[in-house]
C-alpha cells in the first residue's frame, strides 16, 4: 500500500496517528537544521517536516536534495503544526517523517506548477500532463466529471437509454467537412468520422428506443475560429412520439437541474424569442439577456435629413449605453477605433450624449436638432446619463457589428457576470439559407429538420421564407444546445432533398438507408444536442472550452503534445492504396 491517506485528508483529529502518504513535491524550504516539504496529490497538500533532532543524517540529506515534482512516499506521525496555515484544509497539522522513499526523480519542469504559472498557453499545451497537476486545470476536469455525472443521472431517471453509435460511418453532407478514414480492407473506399450521430439517433427512434441519449465525440474538419476544437463532445438526445413542447420541457428540466445541483442556482424562467426578433433586437441568434442594450432601429428618425452617411444606409441602428455619458471624448474615440478594427468592420460610429438636464449633444449636431435626438433616445430606450452609439450600413453587416459592440461594452461595464445565468430559447429558425457560392439553398441545420406545420407548400413559392421546426437553447450569450423536430415520412424527406438540390440518385446514395428505414414505420420524433464543452465552461463561470478539455488541440488543429497530425510511412500508404500528391 503506497498510502494510508491522501494529501488533503488529515486533520487535527488525526494527531499522533502513524500514516503513509505519497505524492509530488510541490516545494521545499531548507533552514539547515529543519526542512519543510509540501507534498501534493489530487486531493490537496500536506506539509512534511524533517528535523535534525529527530531525523537521521541520511534522511536529512535526502530531504535537502528533493527537487520539485519528485515522486515520493513517506511514513511518519501526524503532529500539530506550530505555525498553522488557514489557507489549506490540512493547515493544522504536519507529518514528522520517519521514513522517506524516492519513487521517481524529476527534471525541472518547463513552467511552475502553481495556480498562477509562468507558462504560456502553447507551452502548457505541449506539457499538458504537467499542466493538469495545476489546481485550476485539475478542478476544471473534476467539474466536468461532476456535470457529466449529473447529466447521466438526470436523463437515466427520466427513462432515457444511453446507446453508443459508430464512429466509422459514411460521409454525409452536414455543413462542415468530414474527417475521412481510408479502409484497408475495402480498397479505394473511406469511412467518415461523424459530425454528429444524427442519422443513427433517428434510426434508434425507428427501432423503438423511444428516449435515447449519448455523451459522444463528434468531429468537424473546418477552419478553427477562436475557442473551437476539431473534436468536441455532445450530449446527444432524441425522443419519439413527441411535439416541440415536449422537447423544450424535457431539456429545460435538465438545464434547471444542472444549474441547481452544480451551481446552487434556481432558474425558473426560460424566455422564448423568435429568431427574427433575436436578430432585430440583438444582432445575433444567441443573445446574452443578462443585460439590456436592445437595438433601436433609427431609419424613420435619422434618415431623410442632410446626413448622407445615414441616408445611403440600408439600416441605421443604435444602442443606449447605461451611464455612458460619463465617457470622455478620448474614451469614445477609442470605441470608434474599436468598431473600425478589421475583426468588426464598421466604417465609423456616431454618438449622442443624453445629458442629465434632458438635452442632447451628438457628433452630428450639424444635421440633427434636439427634437430629432430625443427621438433617437426614445427608439433606443436611452435615459439621462446614457450614451447612444449608432452604426449604419448593410443590414446584416451592421447588426453583426453592433452586436459585437454591445458585447464589448457589456464586458467593460461588468454586466456579463459569470455567476448569473440567463437561459433563453431561440425559436423558428429559417429552414433554408442561400449560399452565394453554389447559388442554391442549403439546410440551415440539417436536411432532416421539418418545416413548421403548414409551411411545406411555401417551399414551392418562397423557400427562403419557410421556418424550421427548430430551436436553440442559449445560456449567457452562448448556444449550449440546438435541435429540431425531424421529418419522419419518406415523401416529405424526398421533397426536402429535391429543394436542397439532391438528385434522386444522390439522395439514394447518401441517405438511402434512412429513407428505407422510414418505410417501416418511423414515429414522429425530435431531439436536441447540447455542446458539453461549452455547457461545462459556462457552468464553471468561464467561456474558454479548452480549459475544460483534458488534451485540447491548438488553433491550427494540432496536438502539440503528441505532435499530431503526423505523416505515415510509405508502407502504410501502400496498404491503404493511397498516393500523396502534395504541392510544395
Domain 291-413 falls in which CATH fold? Answer: Gyrase A; domain 2 (3.30.1360)
Question: Is 220 marked within a binding site?
Answer: yes
Q: Mean pLDDT throughout 182-204?
A: 94
- Residue 377's nearest CA partner among 367, 387, 369 is 387
Q: Which of 97-106, 405-414, 504-513, 558-567 has the lowest mean pLDDT?
A: 504-513
Instruction: Output the nine-digit C-alpha cell for 224.
Output: 478553427
For 440-470, what is each residue's pLDDT tens digit? 777 888 888 999 988 887 877 888 889 999 9
Confidence of residue 433 (pLDDT cuts 50, 70, 90): confident
Question: Is 533 marked within a binding site?
Answer: yes
Question: Is 578 marked within a binding site?
Answer: no
Quick count: other Cβ atoms within 10 Å of Cβ 29? 10
CATH class of the domain comprising 139-162+195-272+423-571: alpha beta
Identify the pLDDT of residue 437: 76
For 78-133, what is each residue's pLDDT tens digit? 999 999 999 999 999 999 999 999 999 999 999 999 999 999 999 999 999 999 99
- Domain map (residue ranges) of the chain: 12-104, 139-162+195-272+423-571, 291-413
Question: Is 525 marked within a binding site?
Answer: no
For 4-32, what is each residue's pLDDT tens digit? 999 999 999 999 999 999 999 999 999 99
Confidence of residue 175 (pLDDT cuts 50, 70, 90): low
444, 468 Cβ separation under 8 angstroms: yes
Of the chain, the end-to-end C-alpha distance in Å amounts to 57
Q: Write b or e for each residue in 136-175: b if 16 or more Cβ atoms lie within 10 A of its Cβ, otherwise e.
A: ebeebbebbebbbebbeebbeeeebeebebeeebbbbbbe
3-state DSSP assignment of residue 571: helix
- Please report which helix (H) or strand (E) contains residue 531, including its range: strand 525-531
Question: Is 416 marked within a binding site?
Answer: no
For 36-45, what is each residue's pLDDT tens digit? 999 999 999 9
Question: Is 357 marked within a binding site?
Answer: no
**Euclidean distance between CA atoms 302 and 351, whole angstroms:** 12
Identify the pLDDT of residue 472: 97
Q: Mean pLDDT throughout 368-393?
A: 97
Mean model confidence pLDDT for the chain: 94
- Residue 548's nearest CA partner among 216, 124, 123, 143 is 143
- Residue 293's nearest CA partner among 395, 165, 405, 218 is 405
> Does residue 348 surpass a pLDDT of 70?
yes
Identify the pLDDT of residue 496: 84
Quick count: other Cβ atoms within 10 Å of Cβ 300? 10
Common-topology check for domains 139-162+195-272+423-571 and 291-413: no
Question: Is 221 marked within a binding site?
Answer: yes
Residues 6+ apart with CB under 8 A from 357: 384
Q: Mean pLDDT throughout 32-56?
A: 95
For 62-74, what is each residue's pLDDT tens digit? 999 999 999 999 9
Question: Is 238 marked within a binding site?
Answer: no
Instruction: Output the nine-digit C-alpha cell for 23.
Output: 505524492
80, 50 Cβ separation under 8 angstroms: no
Identify the pLDDT of residue 438: 74
Give CA separation, 445 vs 179, 188, 472, 483, in Å: 19, 31, 11, 8
Question: Is 534 marked within a binding site?
Answer: yes
Residue 442 burial class via C-beta count within 10 angstroms: exposed 0-12, middle 13-18, buried 19 and up: middle
Return the CATH superfamily for domain 12-104: Nucleic acid-binding proteins (2.40.50.140)
Identify the pLDDT of residue 45: 97
Dump strand ranges (E) for 430-518: 432-435, 440-443, 470-475, 478-485
Identify the pLDDT of residue 226: 67
Question: Is 531 marked within a binding site?
Answer: yes
Instruction: Output the nine-digit C-alpha cell for 179.
Output: 474527417
For 290-313, what is each residue's pLDDT tens digit? 999 999 999 999 998 899 999 999
Identify the pLDDT of residue 490: 85
Identify the pLDDT of residue 362: 97
Confidence of residue 252 (pLDDT cuts 50, 70, 90): very high
For 493-549, what is each residue's pLDDT tens digit? 888 888 787 888 888 888 889 889 999 999 999 999 999 999 999 999 998 899 999
Identify the pLDDT of residue 173: 64
> Does residue 174 surpass a pLDDT of 60?
no
Amino acid at each position: 500500500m503506497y498510502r494510508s491517506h491522501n494529501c488533503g485528508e488529515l486533520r487535527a483529529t488525526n494527531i499522533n496517528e502513524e500514516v503513509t502518504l505519497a505524492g509530488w513535491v510541490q516545494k521545499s524550504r531548507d533552514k539547515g537544521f529543519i526542512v519543510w516539504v509540501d507534498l501534493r496529490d489530487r486531493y490537496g497538500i500536506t506539509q512534511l517536516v524533517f528535523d535534525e533532532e529527530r531525523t537521521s543524517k541520511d534522511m536529512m540529506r535526502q530531504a535537502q536534495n528533493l527537487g520539485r515534482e519528485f515522486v515520493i512516499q513517506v511514513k511518519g506521525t501526524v503532529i500539530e503544526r506550530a505555525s498553522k496555515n488557514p489557507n489549506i484544509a490540512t493547515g493544522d497539522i504536519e507529518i514528522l517523517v520517519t521514513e522517506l522513499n524516492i519513487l521517481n526523480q524529476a527534471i525541472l519542469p518547463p513552467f511552475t506548477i502553481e495556480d498562477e504559472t509562468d507558462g504560456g498557453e502553447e507551452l502548457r499545451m505541449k506539457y499538458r500532463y504537467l499542466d493538469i497537476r495545476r489546481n485550476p486545470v485539475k478542478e476544471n476536469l473534476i467539474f466536468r466529471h461532476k456535470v457529466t455525472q449529473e447529466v447521466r443521472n438526470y436523463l437515466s431517471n427520466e427513462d432515457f437509454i444511453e446507446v453508443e453509435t459508430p464512429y466509422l460511418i459514411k460521409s454525409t453532407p452536414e455543413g462542415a467537412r468530414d474527417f475521412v478514414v481510408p479502409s484497408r480492407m475495402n480498397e479505394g473506399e473511406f469511412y467518415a468520422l461523424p459530425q454528429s450521430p444524427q442519422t443513427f439517433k433517428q434510426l434508434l427512434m425507428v427501432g423503438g428506443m423511444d428516449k435515447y441519449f449519448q455523451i459522444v465525440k463528434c468531429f468537424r474538419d473546418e477552419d478553427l475560429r477562436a475557442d473551437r476544437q476539431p473534436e468536441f463532445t455532445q450530449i446527444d438526445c432524441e425522443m419519439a412520439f413527441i411535439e416541440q413542447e415536449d422537447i423544450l420541457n424535457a431539456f429545460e428540466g435538465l438545464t434547471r437541474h444542472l444549474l441547481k445541483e452544480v451551481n446552487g442556482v434556481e432558474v425558473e424562467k426560460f424566455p422564448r424569442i423568435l429568431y427574427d426578433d433575436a436578430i432585430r433586437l440583438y444582432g445575433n441568434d444567441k443573445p446574452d439577456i443578462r443585460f439590456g442594450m436592445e437595438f433601436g432601429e433609427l431609419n424613420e428618425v435619422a434618415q431623410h435629413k442632410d446626413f448622407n452617411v445615414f441616408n445611403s444606409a440600408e439600416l441605421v441602428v443604435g444602442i443606449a449605453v447605461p451611464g455612458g455619458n460619463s465617457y470622455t471624448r478620448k474614451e469614445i474615440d477609442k470605441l470608434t477605433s474599436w468598431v473600425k478594427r478589421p475583426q468588426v468592420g464598421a466604417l465609423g460610429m456616431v454618438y449622442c450624449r443624453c445629458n442629465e438636464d434632458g438635452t442632447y449633444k451628438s457628433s452630428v449636431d450639424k444635421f440633427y436638432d434636439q427634437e430629432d435626438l430625443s427621438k433617437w433616445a426614445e427608439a433606443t430606450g436611452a435615459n439621462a446619463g446614457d450614451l447612444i452609439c449608432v452604426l449604419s450600413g448593410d443590414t446584416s453587416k451592421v447588426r453583426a457589428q453592433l452586436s459585437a459592440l454591445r458585447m464589448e461594452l457589456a464586458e467593460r461595464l461588468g454586466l456579463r457576470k459569470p455567476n448569473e445565468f440567463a437561459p433563453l430559447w431561440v425559436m423558428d429558425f429559417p429552414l433554408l439559407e442561400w449560399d452565394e457560392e453554389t447559388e442554391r439553398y442549403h439546410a440551415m441545420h440539417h436536411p432532416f429538420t421539418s418545416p413548421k406545420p403548414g409551411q411545406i407548400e411555401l417551399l414551392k413559392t418562397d423557400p427562403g421564407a419557410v421556418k424550421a421546426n427548430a430551436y436553440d437553447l442559449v445560456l449567457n450569450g452562448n448556444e449550449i444546445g440546438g435541435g429540431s423536430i425531424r421529418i419522419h415520412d419518406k415523401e416529405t424527406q424526398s421533397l426536402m432533398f429535391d429543394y436542397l438540390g439532391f438528385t434522386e440518385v444522390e439522395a439514394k446514395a447518401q441517405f438511402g438507408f434512412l429513407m428505407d428505414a422510414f418505410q417501416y414505420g418511423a414515429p414522429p420524433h425530435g431531439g436536441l444536442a447540447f455542446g458539453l464543452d461549452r455547457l461545462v465552461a459556462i457552468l464553471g463561470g468561464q467561456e474558454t472550452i479548452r480549459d475544460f478539455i483534458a488534451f485540447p488541440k491548438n488553433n491550427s488543429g494540432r496536438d502539440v503534445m503528441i505532435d499530431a497530425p503526423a505523416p505515415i510511412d510509405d508502407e502504410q500508404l501502400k496498404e491503404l492504396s493511397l498516393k500523396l500528391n502534395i504541392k510544395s
